[in-house]
Amino acid sequence: MQDKGINSTFKKIIYESSEMVFLADDTYPYSIFYANESFEEQLGENLQERNLVGLGLDINAYIFKEELVLTHNQKDYSFRLELPQDSGSNYFLFYKGKEVKTHGLPSKKEAYQFFTSKLDLIAIGKHDHLTYLNSMVLPVLGFEPSELLHTSLCPFVHEEDLDALQNLWKTHLKSQDPAFHTFRFKGKDEKYRYLECSIQFTQESFFVIGRDVSGKIKAQEDEQEFFSLLDQLPALANSLSWKFSKTSQEFDSIQAEELFYQKFLVSESQRAQVKNQLVGYLNSLDSNSVTKGIYRGDFQLISGKRIEVIVFFPKSNPSALWGVFWDNSAKELLEREVLIQKGIWNESPEALMVVDEQGAISSMNKEAYHLFGIESDSRINHLSDLNIFFEEENLWSDWISSSKGTTHTSRFSTSLIGEEKPSLTLEVAAKRMKIDGVEYVLLSFRNITDQISLEKTIEESSDFLMNLTEQVPGGLYQLVLNSEGQMNFSFLSKGINGVLGISQEEIHQFTDISASIAKVHPQDLPTVIMSSVASAKKMEPWQCQFRVKSGEKDAPYRWVLGAARPQSLENGDMVWYGYLTDITKQKEFESKLDEARLAAEKANQIKSEFLSMISHELRTPLNAISGSVYSLFHENPTDSQKSALNTINFAVDNLIIMINDLLDFQKIEAGKLTIENNPFQLKGLLDQIIKGLSFHAADSKNKLNLHLSEGLDIAVKGDKTRLSQVLNNLITNALKFTHEGNVDVKVELQGQIRNKVRVYFEVKDTGIGIAPENQEKIFNDFDQVRPTFSTKYGGTGLGLSITRKLLNLMGGKIALESAVGTGSRFYFDLEFERAEEELVPTQDNKRKPLAFDKLHLLMAEDNEVNALVLGKIIKKWGYTYERVENGLEAVEAMKTGTYDCVLMDIQMPEMDGFEATLAIKQFSDTPIIALTAAAKLEIMEKIDECGFEGFVAKPIDAAELLKKIKEVISEKNYKA
Ligand code: ADP
């Protein structure tokens, strides 16, 4: 170390210090002329220039400082600086040198940079003034730093913020915690800025970092004010807040725009137009024309909807508009909804009340007031106020408590008493409900007086019907057949007890059908079941008579009539409503009646057989008489003999007619007479009838005339025999009761529709006529005008009765016009079907003429007289014959001989005519004519069945028999 006059104090410091020490000249570049070892180790070795300038230091800046910080190789070193005390020294002492270990702190240069940067306001102060201020003050407050240094700050702080700031200083000075505070500070332009500062207080000084937050604060104020706009809207308004930028001409978000369309119901198609309208409207607003930055107005959308608008002009952003669009529709809707609900409540036809759990009435509707007859302005506060209306007191507590803890409706029935009103029956329904967490009970009151009285009426009429059913003889029931096939009685009246013989107790268990079926007589069971099944299938009423075992095991069966009407129900079940009634007595009566009927039928049969027998017995002698007279006529009788023979003939004819009439009458009575429907020639038949009677007419000295209209030469279908019988009857009567007069038979074709013809028949005479009082009588059975008539004119009084009956069977009706002494006119008309097919040709036209002069006949007749008479007749015709006496012989004779025709009696010994004919027909086609006195229908039918070709009744009319013989032979030849 050079001794440059270093004083002893310095020397002491240099030698005693373990830390870095060096000495430097006091002249530029302040060369380091001494450095200790520590300095050399840490710094000296790396120094390129060993002077203070080399260390980057201008010593002048440190003249008044005690400490010096050196930066070298990015490390800071602090040194104490000592200036020589005496004026003669020309060097500085740097000692207590050590590396400053401050982690992360900037280097001196960086620190300087930081402090002088324009990031934030940085200031250091003491008491009320600043000792340092960086250059940020100029852009923030408009001051040069120097203008604010060392001058009191109080006048610059906003007077409203001053107290707070002083308090801050006081409190934080003690705790030395950093403080954060925002206050207003006046700039050079006299306007306040908000400075947001963090301040560190120390005993002597304070450090401030601050920044201008006026913009942020303003924006916050704007936001606050913007939000306060919403408070100005009516409650429940349909609103939408938005921000609009005049620069971009857009709302702050797409959602805001979309929401606008949705809230104010702008259709898709109108959106572009509405957007233009909104933008145009907002652009037209000018902040200068509004007070306090708020504008209120409204505009109409193109849909016609009116939108209210509040626009706020934010101070923090002059190019922006903030605002709210709104309308009152939602509120109006809600208000309407409330009104409707109120209306429903008030006008409900049901009387309603809402009460709390203690019975205090919260609300009561009009009908409730009306029901209790209370004026709507009189205050009813509690259900107990209604006690006077009810027969029992404090019923209400039951209504309320019953509904507790359930969601069900509890119902009560109670009676109202009123001074003026008649007593009413009410149904009270109680139901719990919770509104805003509070439990209430909703009560409804319904007047059920009418319903109760209706129920009573129904009960009464049901009782009435029950009484009625019990009084009905027999029993009523309802039987149900369900879809599973089970049949049960759903109702049985008491009367069933009597019919089925079951006790009143039993009837209750008597629901199953099987119990009643078990009572039915086994023989009747199939009928009962089959008829029931048929009724169910066809849905037809059921009726059945059957026997049931009523009462004890060995009790007799009783007859029961069951009837029911089925009905199918909607559910698919089938129901029978029916009755059972005891018809045992009726059955007994019926069986007696049956016996009587059988006896009557038997009697009738006996009568019929008697008539048949009598006629047979009568015919046989008549046959003999008639045959004998016929032969006598051919044996040249004298005139007187002739006259006697004529008388006999007349009597015999009458008897024959009478017997025939009797047989016909009996047949018609028995309903056994059938009308045939075979083709015949109408005109031919009429000619034949007239021809047949012409002899009779001549006999009675009358003129018999036939008048036929045009178009009667036709074939029709009908019963030729019965028509002949009718006309014969009428003409015979006319001839009988006319003397030397005229009998005119008139037949006219009245009309033709399709294949049907209507023909009018009339028989008119100029005879004795019939008195009016007898005109109806003569058609009765066995009736003649006078009984004595029969002696004079003959007859049985059956002819007209039979005529009328026959015509009825043929579909005609006989009528009569007559005057005593002038004559009578019998007339009728008949309808015939025209015969299409060609008629069997008659002998005289188509058929080749047959020779009937020589015929050989076989006669089978057991009765000697009959055989004699018939033999004489045959001989008279010039024919030959052979006689056999029974059927057996007839068959034998047929096998050996050849005959043109067989005349076969029916009743014969050994073998009767039927059997014989059947046998002959096996091997021969010779025609066989039956001869019988029995005109009974069964015999006729049998004659047909056995294959007879013809039939002639006994007593034999010789002419008729000859005609028949010729007919059957012609027929056979024709067929051949
Ligand atoms: P009868 O077989 O006795 O002739 P009818 O029944 O044919 O019986 O006739 C009944 C009665 O009607 C006859 O007895 C007669 O008194 C009267 N009568 C029938 N036809 C005529 C007629 N053409 N002129 C007058 N009287 C008649």
Compute CA 175 distance to the chain's CA centroid, rounded to the nearest angstrom: 92
- Report how far ligand 1's centroid is from the alpha carbon of 654 (Å): 14
Q: What is the DSSP string of 209-278?
A: EEEE-HHHHHHHHHHHHHHHHHHTSPTT-EEEEEEEETTTTEES-HHHHHHHHHHTT--GGGHHHHHHHH
- Report how far ligand 1's centroid is from the alpha carbon of 778 (Å): 7
- Report how far ligand 1's centroid is from the alpha carbon of 792 (Å): 12
Any idea what DSSP says for residue 816?
Answer: E
Q: What is the pLDDT of residue 840?
A: 47
Compute CA 546 distance to the chain's CA centroid, rounded to the nearest angstrom: 42
- Report how far ligand 1's centroid is from the alpha carbon of 697 (Å): 16
Q: What is the pLDDT of residue 783?
A: 58
Q: What is the pLDDT of residue 355?
A: 93
Q: How confident is the model at residue 970 (pLDDT cuts 50, 70, 90)?
A: confident
Greater pLDDT, 631 or 892: 892
CB atoms within 10 A of CB 965: 24
Q: What is the pLDDT of residue 959?
A: 77
Compute CA 848 distance to the chain's CA centroid, rounded to the nearest angstrom: 83
Report CA torsion sign: 846, 852, 856, 858: positive
Q: Are 516 and 527 in contact (CB under 8 A)?
A: no
Q: Which of 700, 733, 790 to mutate to test the pocket of ligand 1 (most atoms within 8 A of CB)?
A: 733
High-pLDDT (> 90) share of the chain, %: 24
Q: Are 47 and 35 in contact (CB under 8 A)?
A: no
Instruction: From the CA of 826, give the closest atom in ligand 1.
Output: 23
Query: What average pLDDT does range 453-466 have in this prediction?
Result: 91
pLDDT digits (tens, 9 = 90+) for 357-368: 899 999 999 999
The residue whose CA has the least distance to atom 20 of ligand 1 is 733
Q: What is the pLDDT of residue 563?
A: 93
Q: How far is CA 407 from CA 441, 446, 864, in A?
A: 11, 20, 119
The residue whose CA has the least distance to atom 18 of ligand 1 is 733
Instruction: From the CA of 801, give the closest atom in ligand 1.
Output: 6
- Report how far ligand 1's centroid is from the alpha carbon of 734 (Å): 8
Query: What average pLDDT does range 424-437 have in this prediction?
Result: 89
Give CA–CA dist 264/695, Å, rounded.
126
The residue whose CA has the least distance to atom 4 of ligand 1 is 795
Task: Put the strands of the sheet holding 856-860 in their side by side order.
Answer: 880-884, 856-860, 901-905, 928-932, 950-953
Instruction: From the CA of 800, give the closest atom in ligand 1.
Output: 6
- Report how far ligand 1's centroid is from the alpha carbon of 924 (Å): 48
Q: Which of 656, 659, 728, 778 to mutate to test the pocket of ligand 1 (most atoms within 8 A of CB)?
A: 778
Cis ω for the linkage preceding 621 (within 30 of 0)? no
- Percentages helix, strand, coil for the chain (3-state, rounded to 5) are 40, 30, 30
Q: pTM of the predicted model, to two decimals?
A: 0.38
Instruction: From the CA of 794, give the closest atom in ligand 1.
Output: 3
Sorted by sequence, the CB contacts under 8 Å of residue 788 that are 6+ apart come out as none
pLDDT digits (tens, 9 = 90+) for 702-725: 999 999 998 888 889 988 878 888
**Radius of gyration (Cα) for the chain, nearest Å?**
75
pLDDT at 792 over 60: no
Q: What is the pLDDT of residue 85?
A: 65
Residues lining ligand 1, Cβ inside 6 A: 733-734, 737, 765, 767-770, 778, 784-785, 789-790, 795-801, 824
Look up residue 955 and give its two tokens. 């007593």
Q: Are 239 and 150 in contact (CB under 8 A)?
A: no
Greater pLDDT, 939 or 742: 742
Give CA–CA dist 77/96, Å, rounded.
10
Q: What is the pLDDT of residue 759?
A: 94
Bridge-based pairing of strands 742-753 and 703-708 is parallel
- Report how far ligand 1's centroid is from the alpha carbon of 740 (Å): 18
CB atoms within 10 A of CB 842: 12
The residue among 879, 838, 840 whose CA lies nearest residue 859 is 879
Query: What average pLDDT does range 18-33 have in this prediction?
Result: 85
Instruction: From the CA of 786, give the closest atom in ligand 1.
Output: 16
- Report how far ligand 1's centroid is from the alpha carbon of 768 (Å): 10
Query: What average pLDDT does range 417-421 have in this prediction?
Result: 63
- Report how far ligand 1's centroid is from the alpha carbon of 797 (Å): 7
Instruction: Kindly report the average pLDDT of the chain as a whole number.
Output: 84
Query: What average pLDDT does range 250-254 have in this prediction?
Result: 82
Any idea what DSSP says for residue 472?
Answer: S
Sorted by sequence, the CB contacts under 8 Å of residue 645 that are 6+ apart come out as 629, 632, 633, 637
pLDDT digits (tens, 9 = 90+) for 846-866: 444 466 778 899 999 988 878
Query: What average pLDDT does range 317-338 have in this prediction?
Result: 86
Q: Which of 663, 770, 783 to mutate to test the pocket of ligand 1 (most atoms within 8 A of CB)?
A: 770
Q: Are 24 and 39 in contact (CB under 8 A)?
A: no
- Report how far ligand 1's centroid is from the alpha carbon of 662 (Å): 16
- Report how far ligand 1's centroid is from the alpha carbon of 731 (Å): 11
Query: What average pLDDT does range 666-670 have in this prediction?
Result: 73
CB atoms within 10 A of CB 832: 22
pLDDT digits (tens, 9 = 90+) for 487-544: 888 888 888 888 887 777 777 777 778 878 888 899 999 999 899 888 888 889 999 9
Q: How confident is the model at residue 842 (pLDDT cuts 50, 70, 90)?
A: very low
pLDDT digits (tens, 9 = 90+) for 671-690: 777 788 888 889 888 888 88
